Structure 1
Amino acid sequence: MVNENIYILSIESSCDDTSAAVLCNDQVLSNIVANQEIHHEYGGVVPELASRAHQQNIVPVVEMAIKKSGVAKEDLNAIAFTRGPGLMGSLLVGTSFAKSLALGLNIPLIDVNHMQAHVLAHFIDEGQKMPEFPFLAMTISGGHTQIIKVSGYNKLEVLGETIDDAVGEAFDKSGKILGLGYPSGPEIDKRAHLGDPKRFKFSKPKVDGLNFSFSGLKTGILYFVQKEMKANPNFISENLNDICASIQHTIIEILMDKLKKAVKETDISQVAIGGGVSANSGIRAALEQAEQNWGWKTFIPKFEYTTDNAAMIGIVGYLKFLEKDFSSSEITAASRLKI
């Protein structure tokens, strides 16, 4: 895109992963992620513990990202960071660090919307096919479920979103009902391969337009399990793989029904996914099948760019750098931030 090399250091701290990356233009030189295992004991992310862990992790993670990239910090052109949405305590750690480092190095500061980064992660150059504007993006994670019309790097319009739980919550809460650990999504995905997806039928919520709802599905699964357990206390253990396969099958149908509706309404047949739940093998397979069945052009991110990571923050930072879209040093974190 440009003749000279632009080096962006990016920082992501919106939830429980501390991540730093260095990009040269639209290519990733390093992408370091420190996970916080402690939350597994609590069955979900504990905000206070998350922010403390970010404070411990951020300096070594940034140092490692810079070292692995082979770029001296004096050669960095800008610092990009996640402004929001996310957990306020976690965001403040990354925001404060980014502001201080940019000030110390006397280079521009660039704030990034976390959800926009999930969408634009597809523009990290690794020799893969990239979507062309306009395209539809479905962001699916523990905190978000959205269908977005993307007409340009900075022109994103939310066409539909969840009115209650996000799809990641649906997986995790269903897993909790079944006695699975946190996060439950990967375990449900793993067991779904071993079960019959049509063994048990769960009702799909009726929601107008392109919006989603998953709270009713979660409640339906709870009542179903409670009823079956009364008749057979060993019901879960005897049928776990089939239950997981049936839950995953239902969730994928809900997502794909809305995507088909969005493609029909917008007449846009380029479809990309992003967010942590886009690592789900069933969703990936359904999207690949849609490409064959309906002629869509589909775009599925590499696994390392599905969960929260700084490389996706860096690609947005690079694109904003080209437009000289810099942030004031007075900018603050925002836990609720719209695209």
Structure 2
Amino acid sequence: MLRYMGTCNTIAFLMKPVNAPRKVLAIETSCDETSVALVEKRRDHLVVRAQVIASQIPLHAKTGGVVPEVAARAHEHKIIPLVAKTLAKAAVLPKDISAIAVTQGPGLLTSLLVGATAAKTLAAVWQKPLIPVHHLLGHTAAAWLGRDFRSFSYPMVILIVSGGHTELWTSSKLGAWRFLGRTRDDAAGEAFDKTAKMLGLGYPGGPAISRMAEHGNAQKFPLPRPLAASSDYDFSFSGLKTSVKYLHEAQTPRVKKSPVYVRDLAASIERAIVDALVGKCLKAIAHIQPKTLILAGGVAANTLLRKTLAQHAADKGINFAVPDKTYCTDNAAMIGAAALLFPRVVPRNWQASSRLKIV
């Protein structure tokens, strides 16, 4: 069994510039999903030859959130068997792989260390180049999976929304990123999780809120849209979370158990979060005048958010790209995609980092 170590520099002498890999074995362990994928770059598109994901959702549902040490131990048990299973599914031998890619960060450090150590060990044994990938670039690259490269035009506005991140970026060309704004407190995904927990809807909260919201009245409860009038591109969701808490606590036990009340509040929460995300996205579009709008991250699986941004993009004549829902939540295919799409010179002594920056 592979054990993670306190440092990720153990085979740093293998780090070197990677030149145009074509077939990448990718590993993702940034939070609570253990995933391995084999991604291949062809002339005008990327192909996921195989992907395996071991979800920890049942494990963390008991606590209503991810416990870092529990997540790391689960990664340890799963990672090497998943590598073997992925290679078998793809019918690929180690000698056929061009490089190994792995999430460097951000994420839970103990979880990141498991993936980084596994990747570095495999790279040493198989004598393959190793490509560390920024987790958010992975989410962005997921939009390219299954699409012709030629359908992506610059400049771009990129909205990345997940349980740990809510950020707006712009890109003027492949690999050139400029930060616009981020949440000042809670991420949108965290707001979904915490409000779902208040309503007793379970974990993860995003899908639970969305399911209840389908038949609810989103106008029933006038929840706040923090920073909606601010001139910057920042987000804030802590105030929304607090408003839901006080509103819910003010209800009688009978009302709290009412399916109609729960559906209406869920719909109001979902609409408030989507409005906040879309509002800042439209502000960025007005300023940047992009040719492509990309929505990525776990919350990109939200149907209301996808439909709302797709309609705005269509109205403005902008190409809209969002990953298939399979590739919205954490997965290794997106890490392989980023390694193939965004080549870089790899630092010789890179480390896994819970607070890794893109630029």
Q: Would you call these one fold, judging by a TM-score over 0.5?
A: yes
Structure 1's 270 and 6: CA in aligned 2 closer, same or farther, altered over 3 A?
closer
Partner AA of 1:156 in structure 2: W
Q: Displacement of 1:222 after TM fit?
A: 0.8
Q: Does 2:175 align with 1:161? A: no
Q: Does 2:238 align with 1:220? A: no
Q: Does 2:52 align with 1:29? A: no
Contact 1:14 1:90 in 2 (8 A): yes
Q: Deviations over 1:101-160 (max 9, x none)?
A: 111111111110000111122222445874222211100000000011022332111101
| Correspondence for 2:137 | 116
Q: Please list, as runs of the form range in 1=range in 2, the aligned pairs for 1:101-250 lying within 5 A after superposition.
A: 101-126=122-147, 130-206=151-227, 207-227=230-250, 229=251, 232-238=252-258, 239-250=261-272
Partner AA of 2:165 in structure 1: H
Structure 1 unaligned runs (5+)? none
Q: Displacement of 1:304 after TM fit?
A: 1.1
| Correspondence for 2:352 | 333
| Correspondence for 1:92 | 113
Partner AA of 1:280 in structure 2: N
Contact 2:21 2:98 in 1 (8 A): no
SS in 2 for 1:42: coil
Contact 2:21 2:99 in 1 (8 A): no
Q: Distance in 2 between matches of 1:179 and 1:86?
A: 26
Q: Does 2:277 align with 1:258? A: no
Question: How many equivalent residue pairs?
Answer: 330
Q: Distance in 2 between matches of 1:213 and 1:5?
A: 39
Partner AA of 1:312 in structure 2: M
Contact 2:50 2:90 in 1 (8 A): yes
Q: Distance in 1 between matches of 2:150 and 2:174?
A: 16
For residue 11 of structure 1, the aligned residue among 10, 16, 27 is: 27
For residue 295 of structure 2, the aligned residue among 254, 260, 273 is: 273
| Correspondence for 1:312 | 334
Contact 1:110 1:327 in 2 (8 A): no
Contact 1:10 1:79 in 2 (8 A): yes
- Range with bigger deviation, 59-68 or 151-160: 151-160
- Range with bigger deviation, 47-56 or 268-277: 268-277
Q: Distance in 2 between matches of 1:81 and 1:301?
A: 20
Contact 2:154 2:291 in 1 (8 A): no
Partner AA of 1:187 in structure 2: A
Q: Deviations over 1:238-260 (max 9, x none)?
A: 21111111111111111111011
Structure 1's 157 and 54: CA in aligned 2 closer, same or farther, altered over 3 A?
same
Q: Distance in 1 between matches of 2:319 and 2:216?
A: 29
Q: Displacement of 1:221 after TM fit?
A: 0.9
Q: Does 2:67 align with 1:46? A: yes
For residue 74 of structure 1, the aligned residue among 78, 88, 95 is: 95
Q: Distance in 1 between matches of 2:131 and 2:236?
A: 34
Q: Distance in 2 between matches of 1:214 and 1:269?
A: 29
Contact 1:99 1:109 in 2 (8 A): yes
Percent identical residues: 40
Contact 1:122 1:130 in 2 (8 A): no
Q: Distance in 2 between matches of 1:263 and 1:179?
A: 37
| Correspondence for 2:15 | none
SS in 2 for 1:196: coil
Q: Displacement of 1:285 after TM fit?
A: 1.2
Contact 1:82 1:111 in 2 (8 A): yes
Aligned-pair Cα RMSD in Å: 1.7
Q: Distance in 2 between matches of 1:291 and 1:15?
A: 31
Structure 1's 153 and 31: CA in aligned 2 closer, same or farther, altered over 3 A?
farther
Partner AA of 1:338 in structure 2: K
Q: Distance in 2 between matches of 1:218 and 1:308?
A: 24
| Correspondence for 2:12 | none
Q: Distance in 2 between matches of 1:243 and 1:123?
A: 35
Q: Deviations over 1:186-241 (max 9, x none)?
A: 011011111111111112112440000000010011111122x1xx3222222111
Q: Distance in 1 between matches of 2:148 and 2:340?
A: 18
SS in 2 for 1:158: strand
| Correspondence for 2:305 | 283
Q: Distance in 2 between matches of 1:214 and 1:151?
A: 29
Structure 1's 5 and 272: CA in aligned 2 closer, same or farther, altered over 3 A?
closer
Q: Displacement of 1:337 after TM fit?
A: 0.7
Q: Deviations over 1:292-314 (max 9, x none)?
A: 43333211210111000011100
